[in-house]
Amino acid sequence: MQAYLLFIRQHWPLLSFGFISIFWGNFGQSFFISWYGASIQTSLGLSASVYGSLYSAATLGSGLAVMLLGGLIDRVPLQRFAASAGAGLMLACLLMTFSLTIPLLLLALFCLRLCGQGLLPHASHTTMARYFDNHRGKALSLAASGVPLGEILLPLIAVILIGLIGWRGSWLILAASIPLIYLPASLYLLRKASQTTHRPPALEEPSSATPPKGAGRRQVLSDYRFWLALPAVLSAPFVVTGIFIQQGFVLNEKGWDPLWLASCFVVYGITHWCSSLLAGLLVDLFSACRLLPFMLLPLIAAVLALAGLDGLWVAPLFMALLGITIGIAGPVTGALWAEVYGTAKLGSIRSLTSAMMIFSTAASPVLYGAFIDVGVSLARLFIGTALGVGLASFLALFAYRQDRPKPLEP
Protein backbone atom coordinates (compact mmCIF):
# COMPACT_ATOMS: atom_id res chain seq x y z
CA MET A 1 0.00 0.00 0.00
CA GLN A 2 2.90 2.36 0.71
CA ALA A 3 4.13 1.84 -2.86
CA TYR A 4 0.72 2.91 -4.15
CA LEU A 5 0.56 6.00 -1.92
CA LEU A 6 3.99 7.19 -3.04
CA PHE A 7 3.11 6.51 -6.67
CA ILE A 8 -0.18 8.43 -6.40
CA ARG A 9 1.56 11.38 -4.73
CA GLN A 10 4.03 11.63 -7.61
CA HIS A 11 1.63 11.15 -10.52
CA TRP A 12 -1.84 12.04 -9.26
CA PRO A 13 -2.93 14.25 -12.22
CA LEU A 14 -2.53 11.60 -14.92
CA LEU A 15 -3.73 8.79 -12.66
CA SER A 16 -6.82 10.83 -11.77
CA PHE A 17 -7.54 11.39 -15.46
CA GLY A 18 -7.42 7.64 -16.03
CA PHE A 19 -9.70 7.00 -13.07
CA ILE A 20 -12.43 9.51 -13.95
CA SER A 21 -12.42 8.46 -17.62
CA ILE A 22 -13.20 4.90 -16.62
CA PHE A 23 -15.72 5.98 -13.96
CA TRP A 24 -17.75 8.08 -16.42
CA GLY A 25 -17.34 5.32 -18.99
CA ASN A 26 -19.50 3.16 -16.70
CA PHE A 27 -22.52 4.98 -18.17
CA GLY A 28 -22.09 2.72 -21.20
CA GLN A 29 -21.44 -0.54 -19.34
CA SER A 30 -24.01 -3.32 -19.26
CA PHE A 31 -24.23 -3.40 -15.45
CA PHE A 32 -25.46 0.23 -15.47
CA ILE A 33 -27.69 0.21 -18.54
CA SER A 34 -29.41 -2.94 -17.25
CA TRP A 35 -31.10 -0.86 -14.51
CA TYR A 36 -33.03 0.96 -17.25
CA GLY A 37 -34.04 -2.10 -19.29
CA ALA A 38 -37.49 -2.63 -17.78
CA SER A 39 -38.39 1.09 -17.99
CA ILE A 40 -37.25 1.31 -21.61
CA GLN A 41 -39.26 -1.77 -22.62
CA THR A 42 -42.37 -0.45 -20.89
CA SER A 43 -42.10 3.08 -22.35
CA LEU A 44 -41.53 1.93 -25.94
CA GLY A 45 -43.65 -1.22 -25.76
CA LEU A 46 -40.76 -3.55 -26.56
CA SER A 47 -40.62 -7.25 -25.87
CA ALA A 48 -37.57 -8.67 -24.12
CA SER A 49 -36.35 -10.28 -27.34
CA VAL A 50 -36.67 -7.06 -29.37
CA TYR A 51 -34.89 -5.04 -26.71
CA GLY A 52 -32.15 -7.67 -26.47
CA SER A 53 -31.71 -7.65 -30.23
CA LEU A 54 -31.39 -3.85 -30.29
CA TYR A 55 -28.84 -3.98 -27.50
CA SER A 56 -26.79 -6.67 -29.25
CA ALA A 57 -26.88 -4.76 -32.54
CA ALA A 58 -25.71 -1.57 -30.81
CA THR A 59 -22.93 -3.50 -29.07
CA LEU A 60 -21.67 -5.12 -32.28
CA GLY A 61 -21.81 -1.81 -34.13
CA SER A 62 -19.89 -0.05 -31.38
CA GLY A 63 -17.22 -2.76 -31.54
CA LEU A 64 -16.63 -2.04 -35.22
CA ALA A 65 -16.57 1.71 -34.56
CA VAL A 66 -14.05 1.34 -31.73
CA MET A 67 -11.76 -0.56 -34.09
CA LEU A 68 -12.01 2.27 -36.62
CA LEU A 69 -11.77 5.23 -34.23
CA GLY A 70 -9.53 3.91 -31.43
CA GLY A 71 -6.33 4.35 -33.43
CA LEU A 72 -6.88 8.11 -33.52
CA ILE A 73 -5.40 8.32 -30.02
CA ASP A 74 -2.01 7.59 -31.64
CA ARG A 75 -2.36 10.57 -34.00
CA VAL A 76 -4.25 13.35 -32.19
CA PRO A 77 -3.56 15.10 -28.87
CA LEU A 78 -4.93 13.21 -25.88
CA GLN A 79 -6.88 16.26 -24.71
CA ARG A 80 -8.79 16.38 -28.00
CA PHE A 81 -9.46 12.64 -28.00
CA ALA A 82 -10.75 12.65 -24.42
CA ALA A 83 -12.91 15.74 -24.99
CA SER A 84 -14.43 14.23 -28.14
CA ALA A 85 -15.20 10.94 -26.38
CA GLY A 86 -16.74 12.85 -23.46
CA ALA A 87 -18.86 14.95 -25.82
CA GLY A 88 -20.00 11.76 -27.56
CA LEU A 89 -21.05 10.28 -24.23
CA MET A 90 -23.00 13.45 -23.39
CA LEU A 91 -24.79 13.19 -26.75
CA ALA A 92 -25.59 9.53 -25.99
CA CYS A 93 -27.17 10.45 -22.65
CA LEU A 94 -29.25 13.17 -24.32
CA LEU A 95 -30.39 10.70 -26.98
CA MET A 96 -31.49 8.33 -24.20
CA THR A 97 -33.56 11.17 -22.74
CA PHE A 98 -35.39 11.79 -26.03
CA SER A 99 -35.47 8.22 -27.40
CA LEU A 100 -39.19 8.09 -28.24
CA THR A 101 -38.73 5.73 -31.21
CA ILE A 102 -36.83 2.51 -31.85
CA PRO A 103 -34.32 4.11 -34.29
CA LEU A 104 -33.47 6.81 -31.73
CA LEU A 105 -33.08 4.19 -29.00
CA LEU A 106 -30.77 2.12 -31.21
CA LEU A 107 -28.66 5.21 -31.95
CA ALA A 108 -28.55 6.12 -28.24
CA LEU A 109 -27.46 2.62 -27.21
CA PHE A 110 -24.82 2.60 -29.98
CA CYS A 111 -23.36 5.92 -28.78
CA LEU A 112 -23.46 4.79 -25.14
CA ARG A 113 -21.59 1.59 -25.92
CA LEU A 114 -19.14 3.34 -28.25
CA CYS A 115 -18.14 6.17 -25.94
CA GLY A 116 -18.86 4.62 -22.55
CA GLN A 117 -17.77 1.02 -22.90
CA GLY A 118 -15.34 1.81 -25.72
CA LEU A 119 -13.55 5.12 -26.19
CA LEU A 120 -13.32 6.56 -22.66
CA PRO A 121 -11.85 3.38 -21.09
CA HIS A 122 -9.68 3.05 -24.21
CA ALA A 123 -8.26 6.53 -23.61
CA SER A 124 -7.54 5.67 -19.97
CA HIS A 125 -5.94 2.27 -20.52
CA THR A 126 -3.87 3.43 -23.48
CA THR A 127 -2.57 6.46 -21.58
CA MET A 128 -1.66 4.46 -18.47
CA ALA A 129 0.13 1.78 -20.50
CA ARG A 130 1.91 4.29 -22.74
CA TYR A 131 3.18 6.73 -20.12
CA PHE A 132 4.11 4.41 -17.26
CA ASP A 133 6.71 1.72 -17.89
CA ASN A 134 8.15 0.34 -14.65
CA HIS A 135 4.88 1.23 -12.87
CA ARG A 136 2.48 0.25 -15.66
CA GLY A 137 0.68 -2.38 -13.58
CA LYS A 138 -0.01 -0.02 -10.69
CA ALA A 139 -1.19 2.73 -13.04
CA LEU A 140 -3.61 0.41 -14.84
CA SER A 141 -5.02 -1.02 -11.61
CA LEU A 142 -5.55 2.43 -10.07
CA ALA A 143 -7.31 3.72 -13.17
CA ALA A 144 -9.40 0.55 -13.38
CA SER A 145 -10.64 1.18 -9.83
CA GLY A 146 -13.26 3.36 -11.51
CA VAL A 147 -15.14 0.19 -12.48
CA PRO A 148 -15.71 -1.39 -9.04
CA LEU A 149 -16.47 2.03 -7.56
CA GLY A 150 -19.03 2.50 -10.31
CA GLU A 151 -20.48 -0.96 -9.61
CA ILE A 152 -21.02 0.08 -6.01
CA LEU A 153 -22.27 3.66 -6.45
CA LEU A 154 -23.96 4.03 -9.83
CA PRO A 155 -26.81 1.51 -9.44
CA LEU A 156 -27.83 3.30 -6.24
CA ILE A 157 -27.66 6.66 -8.02
CA ALA A 158 -29.73 5.29 -10.91
CA VAL A 159 -32.43 3.93 -8.60
CA ILE A 160 -32.66 7.22 -6.69
CA LEU A 161 -32.82 9.34 -9.86
CA ILE A 162 -35.40 7.10 -11.51
CA GLY A 163 -37.55 7.29 -8.37
CA LEU A 164 -37.31 11.08 -8.18
CA ILE A 165 -37.49 12.27 -11.80
CA GLY A 166 -38.09 9.19 -13.95
CA TRP A 167 -35.74 7.25 -16.18
CA ARG A 168 -35.62 9.86 -18.96
CA GLY A 169 -34.94 12.69 -16.52
CA SER A 170 -32.13 10.69 -14.92
CA TRP A 171 -30.30 10.50 -18.25
CA LEU A 172 -30.57 14.29 -18.51
CA ILE A 173 -28.78 14.61 -15.15
CA LEU A 174 -26.13 12.15 -16.29
CA ALA A 175 -25.63 14.15 -19.50
CA ALA A 176 -25.20 17.37 -17.49
CA SER A 177 -22.49 15.78 -15.33
CA ILE A 178 -20.17 15.51 -18.32
CA PRO A 179 -19.75 19.22 -19.26
CA LEU A 180 -20.08 20.27 -15.62
CA ILE A 181 -17.65 17.78 -14.06
CA TYR A 182 -15.90 15.31 -16.40
CA LEU A 183 -14.76 17.59 -19.24
CA PRO A 184 -13.32 20.44 -17.13
CA ALA A 185 -11.76 17.98 -14.67
CA SER A 186 -10.14 15.85 -17.37
CA LEU A 187 -8.74 18.85 -19.27
CA TYR A 188 -7.41 20.36 -16.02
CA LEU A 189 -5.75 17.09 -15.01
CA LEU A 190 -4.11 16.62 -18.41
CA ARG A 191 -2.88 20.22 -18.39
CA LYS A 192 -1.52 19.70 -14.86
CA ALA A 193 0.22 16.49 -15.93
CA SER A 194 1.83 18.26 -18.90
CA GLN A 195 3.37 20.84 -16.54
CA THR A 196 5.45 18.27 -14.63
CA THR A 197 9.24 18.32 -14.85
CA HIS A 198 9.29 15.32 -17.18
CA ARG A 199 6.68 15.87 -19.84
CA PRO A 200 4.59 12.68 -20.21
CA PRO A 201 5.12 11.07 -23.62
CA ALA A 202 1.37 10.42 -23.76
CA LEU A 203 0.81 14.19 -23.88
CA GLU A 204 3.30 15.06 -26.60
CA GLU A 205 1.90 16.41 -29.83
CA PRO A 206 1.78 13.73 -32.54
CA SER A 207 3.93 14.51 -35.55
CA SER A 208 2.77 13.56 -39.04
CA ALA A 209 6.27 14.20 -40.39
CA THR A 210 7.81 11.40 -38.36
CA PRO A 211 5.43 8.47 -38.13
CA PRO A 212 5.91 6.46 -34.95
CA LYS A 213 7.92 3.25 -35.04
CA GLY A 214 6.52 0.12 -33.48
CA ALA A 215 4.34 -2.82 -34.28
CA GLY A 216 0.97 -1.91 -35.75
CA ARG A 217 -2.14 -3.98 -36.39
CA ARG A 218 -0.70 -5.71 -39.45
CA GLN A 219 2.36 -6.95 -37.55
CA VAL A 220 0.25 -7.99 -34.56
CA LEU A 221 -2.24 -9.96 -36.65
CA SER A 222 0.60 -11.76 -38.44
CA ASP A 223 2.25 -12.72 -35.13
CA TYR A 224 1.25 -16.29 -34.18
CA ARG A 225 1.88 -15.47 -30.51
CA PHE A 226 -1.01 -13.01 -30.56
CA TRP A 227 -3.43 -15.75 -31.61
CA LEU A 228 -2.12 -18.05 -28.89
CA ALA A 229 -2.67 -15.34 -26.26
CA LEU A 230 -6.03 -14.07 -27.55
CA PRO A 231 -8.26 -16.87 -26.11
CA ALA A 232 -6.86 -16.18 -22.61
CA VAL A 233 -7.41 -12.44 -23.03
CA LEU A 234 -11.04 -12.89 -24.11
CA SER A 235 -11.99 -15.72 -21.73
CA ALA A 236 -12.81 -13.66 -18.63
CA PRO A 237 -15.15 -11.09 -20.26
CA PHE A 238 -16.73 -13.82 -22.42
CA VAL A 239 -17.55 -16.16 -19.52
CA VAL A 240 -18.52 -13.50 -16.97
CA THR A 241 -20.88 -11.74 -19.41
CA GLY A 242 -22.49 -15.03 -20.39
CA ILE A 243 -23.07 -16.00 -16.75
CA PHE A 244 -24.47 -12.62 -15.72
CA ILE A 245 -26.86 -12.38 -18.66
CA GLN A 246 -28.06 -15.97 -18.15
CA GLN A 247 -28.17 -15.71 -14.36
CA GLY A 248 -31.85 -16.71 -14.35
CA PHE A 249 -30.80 -20.21 -15.44
CA VAL A 250 -28.21 -20.36 -12.65
CA LEU A 251 -30.76 -19.20 -10.05
CA ASN A 252 -33.29 -21.83 -11.11
CA GLU A 253 -30.77 -24.66 -11.15
CA LYS A 254 -29.22 -23.73 -7.81
CA GLY A 255 -32.44 -22.72 -6.06
CA TRP A 256 -31.00 -19.35 -5.01
CA ASP A 257 -33.16 -16.34 -4.27
CA PRO A 258 -32.40 -13.41 -6.64
CA LEU A 259 -31.90 -11.11 -3.64
CA TRP A 260 -29.25 -13.46 -2.27
CA LEU A 261 -27.27 -13.39 -5.50
CA ALA A 262 -27.72 -9.62 -5.75
CA SER A 263 -26.27 -9.18 -2.25
CA CYS A 264 -23.25 -11.24 -3.31
CA PHE A 265 -22.37 -8.54 -5.86
CA VAL A 266 -20.88 -6.62 -2.93
CA VAL A 267 -18.41 -9.50 -2.54
CA TYR A 268 -17.76 -9.34 -6.28
CA GLY A 269 -17.03 -5.60 -6.17
CA ILE A 270 -14.71 -5.81 -3.16
CA THR A 271 -12.67 -8.74 -4.51
CA HIS A 272 -12.57 -7.09 -7.94
CA TRP A 273 -11.07 -3.94 -6.45
CA CYS A 274 -8.58 -5.61 -4.08
CA SER A 275 -7.33 -8.16 -6.61
CA SER A 276 -6.86 -5.41 -9.20
CA LEU A 277 -4.57 -3.48 -6.84
CA LEU A 278 -2.61 -6.64 -6.03
CA ALA A 279 -2.35 -7.58 -9.70
CA GLY A 280 -0.90 -4.14 -10.49
CA LEU A 281 1.99 -4.81 -8.11
CA LEU A 282 2.51 -8.30 -9.53
CA VAL A 283 2.62 -6.99 -13.11
CA ASP A 284 5.36 -4.54 -12.13
CA LEU A 285 7.29 -7.30 -10.35
CA PHE A 286 6.95 -10.18 -12.82
CA SER A 287 5.53 -8.68 -16.08
CA ALA A 288 2.19 -9.33 -17.74
CA CYS A 289 3.74 -11.85 -20.12
CA ARG A 290 4.67 -14.19 -17.28
CA LEU A 291 1.33 -13.77 -15.47
CA LEU A 292 -0.91 -14.29 -18.51
CA PRO A 293 -1.11 -18.13 -18.41
CA PHE A 294 -2.05 -18.12 -14.72
CA MET A 295 -4.57 -15.27 -14.51
CA LEU A 296 -7.53 -17.53 -15.39
CA LEU A 297 -7.04 -20.03 -12.56
CA PRO A 298 -9.64 -18.28 -10.33
CA LEU A 299 -12.13 -18.38 -13.23
CA ILE A 300 -11.62 -22.13 -13.65
CA ALA A 301 -12.18 -22.57 -9.90
CA ALA A 302 -15.33 -20.40 -10.08
CA VAL A 303 -17.07 -22.34 -12.83
CA LEU A 304 -16.07 -25.69 -11.32
CA ALA A 305 -17.53 -24.58 -7.99
CA LEU A 306 -20.72 -23.58 -9.77
CA ALA A 307 -20.86 -26.92 -11.57
CA GLY A 308 -20.08 -29.22 -8.65
CA LEU A 309 -21.07 -27.57 -5.37
CA ASP A 310 -24.47 -26.83 -3.82
CA GLY A 311 -25.68 -24.59 -1.02
CA LEU A 312 -26.18 -20.89 -0.38
CA TRP A 313 -22.51 -20.51 0.60
CA VAL A 314 -21.46 -21.32 -2.98
CA ALA A 315 -22.85 -17.99 -4.26
CA PRO A 316 -20.43 -15.67 -2.36
CA LEU A 317 -17.54 -18.07 -3.11
CA PHE A 318 -18.44 -18.05 -6.79
CA MET A 319 -18.82 -14.27 -6.95
CA ALA A 320 -15.56 -13.73 -5.06
CA LEU A 321 -13.68 -15.92 -7.56
CA LEU A 322 -15.28 -14.04 -10.47
CA GLY A 323 -14.26 -10.72 -8.89
CA ILE A 324 -10.68 -11.94 -8.45
CA THR A 325 -10.61 -13.02 -12.10
CA ILE A 326 -11.80 -9.69 -13.48
CA GLY A 327 -9.54 -7.78 -11.09
CA ILE A 328 -6.44 -9.68 -12.21
CA ALA A 329 -7.32 -9.65 -15.89
CA GLY A 330 -7.52 -5.84 -16.13
CA PRO A 331 -3.90 -4.92 -15.27
CA VAL A 332 -2.46 -8.03 -16.96
CA THR A 333 -4.18 -7.59 -20.33
CA GLY A 334 -3.83 -3.81 -20.12
CA ALA A 335 -0.04 -4.05 -19.80
CA LEU A 336 0.46 -7.02 -22.12
CA TRP A 337 0.31 -5.29 -25.50
CA ALA A 338 2.65 -2.47 -24.41
CA GLU A 339 5.21 -4.98 -23.16
CA VAL A 340 5.19 -7.02 -26.35
CA TYR A 341 4.49 -4.55 -29.14
CA GLY A 342 5.66 -1.20 -27.75
CA THR A 343 3.63 1.94 -27.14
CA ALA A 344 3.96 3.97 -30.35
CA LYS A 345 0.86 2.40 -31.95
CA LEU A 346 -0.70 1.14 -28.76
CA GLY A 347 -4.00 2.90 -29.37
CA SER A 348 -4.45 1.11 -32.68
CA ILE A 349 -3.62 -2.27 -31.15
CA ARG A 350 -5.81 -1.75 -28.09
CA SER A 351 -8.77 -0.66 -30.18
CA LEU A 352 -8.43 -3.89 -32.19
CA THR A 353 -8.41 -6.08 -29.09
CA SER A 354 -11.17 -4.01 -27.47
CA ALA A 355 -13.36 -4.60 -30.51
CA MET A 356 -12.67 -8.34 -30.28
CA MET A 357 -13.62 -8.22 -26.59
CA ILE A 358 -16.88 -6.44 -27.40
CA PHE A 359 -17.70 -9.04 -30.05
CA SER A 360 -17.02 -11.85 -27.58
CA THR A 361 -19.29 -10.33 -24.93
CA ALA A 362 -22.03 -9.96 -27.54
CA ALA A 363 -21.66 -13.62 -28.57
CA SER A 364 -21.41 -15.32 -25.17
CA PRO A 365 -25.04 -14.79 -23.99
CA VAL A 366 -26.25 -16.16 -27.32
CA LEU A 367 -23.98 -19.22 -27.12
CA TYR A 368 -24.86 -19.98 -23.50
CA GLY A 369 -28.53 -19.46 -24.32
CA ALA A 370 -28.32 -21.94 -27.20
CA PHE A 371 -26.84 -24.60 -24.93
CA ILE A 372 -29.50 -23.93 -22.30
CA ASP A 373 -32.30 -24.13 -24.87
CA VAL A 374 -31.21 -27.58 -26.05
CA GLY A 375 -31.27 -28.86 -22.49
CA VAL A 376 -27.61 -28.90 -21.47
CA SER A 377 -27.40 -29.19 -17.69
CA LEU A 378 -25.70 -26.59 -15.53
CA ALA A 379 -22.99 -29.06 -14.50
CA ARG A 380 -22.14 -30.00 -18.08
CA LEU A 381 -22.28 -26.40 -19.29
CA PHE A 382 -19.78 -25.15 -16.73
CA ILE A 383 -17.51 -28.18 -16.78
CA GLY A 384 -17.26 -27.54 -20.50
CA THR A 385 -16.55 -23.89 -19.77
CA ALA A 386 -13.77 -24.88 -17.37
CA LEU A 387 -12.21 -27.12 -20.04
CA GLY A 388 -12.34 -24.29 -22.58
CA VAL A 389 -10.76 -21.79 -20.20
CA GLY A 390 -8.11 -24.36 -19.26
CA LEU A 391 -7.26 -24.80 -22.94
CA ALA A 392 -6.94 -21.02 -23.32
CA SER A 393 -4.52 -20.92 -20.38
CA PHE A 394 -2.50 -23.79 -21.88
CA LEU A 395 -2.16 -21.99 -25.22
CA ALA A 396 -1.03 -18.83 -23.41
CA LEU A 397 1.94 -20.76 -22.00
CA PHE A 398 3.42 -20.79 -25.51
CA ALA A 399 2.54 -17.21 -26.48
CA TYR A 400 4.94 -14.70 -24.94
CA ARG A 401 7.34 -16.98 -23.13
CA GLN A 402 10.07 -14.40 -22.45
CA ASP A 403 9.84 -11.79 -19.72
CA ARG A 404 9.28 -8.38 -21.36
CA PRO A 405 10.15 -9.45 -24.94
CA LYS A 406 11.57 -6.83 -27.29
CA PRO A 407 8.75 -5.03 -29.15
CA LEU A 408 8.28 -5.91 -32.79
CA GLU A 409 9.36 -3.37 -35.40
CA PRO A 410 7.37 -2.74 -38.58
Give the domains, in start order, of the chain with CATH numbers: 1-203 (1.20.1250.20), 213-410 (1.20.1250.20)
- Structure confidence at residue 30 (pLDDT): 80
Range scoring the smallest mean pLDDT among 138-152, 290-304, 318-332: 138-152
Check pLDDT > 50 for residue 207: no
d(CA 54, CA 217): 30
Q: Give the predicted TM-score (pTM) of the model.
A: 0.81
DSSP 406: P
CA 214 to chain centre: 25
d(CA 361, CA 32): 15
Using 50, 70 and 90 to split pLDDT, how confident is the model at 108? very high
Residues 6+ apart with CB under 8 A from 93: 27, 112, 171, 172, 174, 175, 178
How far is the CA of 159 from the CAs of 163, 168, 264, 356, 404, in angstroms?
Answer: 6, 12, 18, 32, 45
- Structure confidence at residue 89 (pLDDT): 97
Check pLDDT > 90 for residue 344: no
Tell me the mean pLDDT in the region 214-223: 78
- Structure confidence at residue 243 (pLDDT): 84
> What percent of the chain lies above the pLDDT cut of 70?
93
Range scoring the smallest mean pLDDT among 3-17, 187-201, 346-360: 187-201
Using 50, 70 and 90 to split pLDDT, how confident is the model at 228? very high
Using 50, 70 and 90 to split pLDDT, how confident is the model at 214? low
> How far from each other are the two terminal CA atoms of the chain, in whole angstroms?
39
- Structure confidence at residue 202 (pLDDT): 46
Residues 6+ apart with CB under 8 A from 43: 167, 168
CA 280 to chain centre: 16
d(CA 288, CA 338): 10
> pLDDT digits over 27-66, tens only?
998 878 878 887 888 899 988 777 877 888 888 899 889 8
- Structure confidence at residue 37 (pLDDT): 80
